[in-house]
Structure 1
Amino acid sequence: MAPFEALYGRRCRNPSYADLKRKPDEFAVGDYVLLRVSPMKGVMRFGNKGKLSPKFIGPYELKRYVPDKSHVLDPEPLDLDENLSYEEKPIKILDFKVRSTRRKDIKMVKGLWANQRTQEGVELIEMIMNARNEICMNIWIE
């Protein structure tokens, strides 16, 4: 039952402009398809920026997927709170540098977090790290 029907006990008088005769698209192996790209403001994709960025890319040929056990990922369990959030804890500091603006120097720290799999790390401002967690300073001093 539609919300309008539930409120007023009758059907809505506005016409529905949806295409009622539209059928879902069906594809077969070997068909050529275009992939839709979601535009992002200010991001250059495929050599063009803004209005000129393509909405679709391709064509790509559809191929049959062959299942393989190595494609399945085992998720690592996370310690979630009652509001379904978790706390990120830093493990070690990978790199440190100072970026200078006209008026002040900003200390940048690249750290490895507990829930990351790679050694890349994420750059953070030292002030934010100090405010979030005192463990960062303990690691930095050691």
Structure 2
Amino acid sequence: ELIQETTEKIVQIKQRMQAAHDRHKSYADLKRKPMEFQVRDKKGLEMFAYKLDLPGELSRVHSTFYVSNLKKCHADEPLAVPLDGLQFDDKLHFVEKPVEIMDCEVKRLK
């Protein structure tokens, strides 16, 4: 008898939740309008993310960048670093190689 009452209450709760969900959906659907956009149509749209076509050596970098994280580059063209001589490890950390040892110092501890 207790199991029967519990089962009936569970069914009743599920029905009421479904009815509330359907009511909420019907009110929300009243505000929605079907919209169609063409490619490059900027009417009422804002760009939040850019998907960049990156070169092959940067294939492990995620290609989507959010506009809020991007800043305009004001650097001079001669200051741009070519990626040809740079090496990166598996986690895309820069691998430094010393070019020349400039000084050597030996310290003796007591």
TM over 0.5: no
Please identify which structure carries the higher helix content. 2
Q: Whose radius of gyration is greater, 1 or 2?
A: 2
- Using structure 1 for the length normalisation, give the TM-score: 0.20
Instruction: Write 1 or 2 for the structure with the bigger share of strand.
Output: 1
Q: Under a length normalisation based on structure 2, what TM-score does the superposition of the two structures give?
A: 0.23
